[in-house]
Every structure is written in C-alpha cells, then in structure tokens.
Amino acid sequence: MTGERHMYKIHLGSGNILVSPNDQYLCIVPKANPAAQQTGCLPFEGDRMLAVVLSQAMLPADDTKITDPTILSQL
C-alpha cells in the first residue's frame, strides 16, 4: 500500500508492517482500552490475525495524519 510518506507492506502471516525501500520494520503497539464500549460484531471476529492486519493497514494508508512521535520517528 502506498501512503504519502512511504510505501508499506504488511506481512499477512505476522501482521508486521515493513516500510519500503529498505523493508524497515515499523513498530506499532495498539492501545488496549478494556473500558471502551464494544460497538458491534465484525464479520472476522475471532480471527485475531485478520483483525491485526486490517488495523495495521488503516494507519499507514493515511500516514499524513499520524501524530504519535514514536511512530513518526520510525518514518
């Protein structure tokens, strides 16, 4: 997938994001909020890896809106 800053690859087996051209690993740690209200059932509920891959794809797809300094320092 191509963002404004870089091109990204997501490994479907691990859910890892690689930043092209050097295939540098992009470390993104999701925030867990157990108090957050669940808003519904997704068709892939129960498939943890698919959920990881889809969530990992959302962030770099719109990479100009990333504000987290830890993630930006990796880009």
Residue 36 inside a domain? The answer is: no
- Asked if pLDDT for residue 45 goes beyond 80, the answer is no
Residue range of the domain that includes 49: 1-28+44-75
Does residue 38 sit within a domain? no
Residue 52 within a domain: yes
In terms of average pLDDT, the best of 33-37, 50-54, 55-59, 69-73 is 69-73
User: Is 55 a domain residue?
Assistant: yes
Number of other residues whose CB lies within 10 A of the CB of residue 42: 11
In the prediction, which pLDDT does 37 show?
Answer: 56
CB 6 within 8 A of CB 62: no
Query: Positive or negative CA dihedral for 65, 4, 72, 38?
Result: positive
Tell me the CA distances in angstroms from 70 to 5, 8, 52, one per residue in order. 16, 17, 19
Residue 51 lies in a domain: yes
Number of domains in the chain: 1
Q: pLDDT, tens digit, for every residue of 8-34?
A: 898 888 888 999 888 899 887 766 655
Q: Residue 10 is encoded by which pair of tokens?
A: 């997501």
CA 31 to chain centre: 12
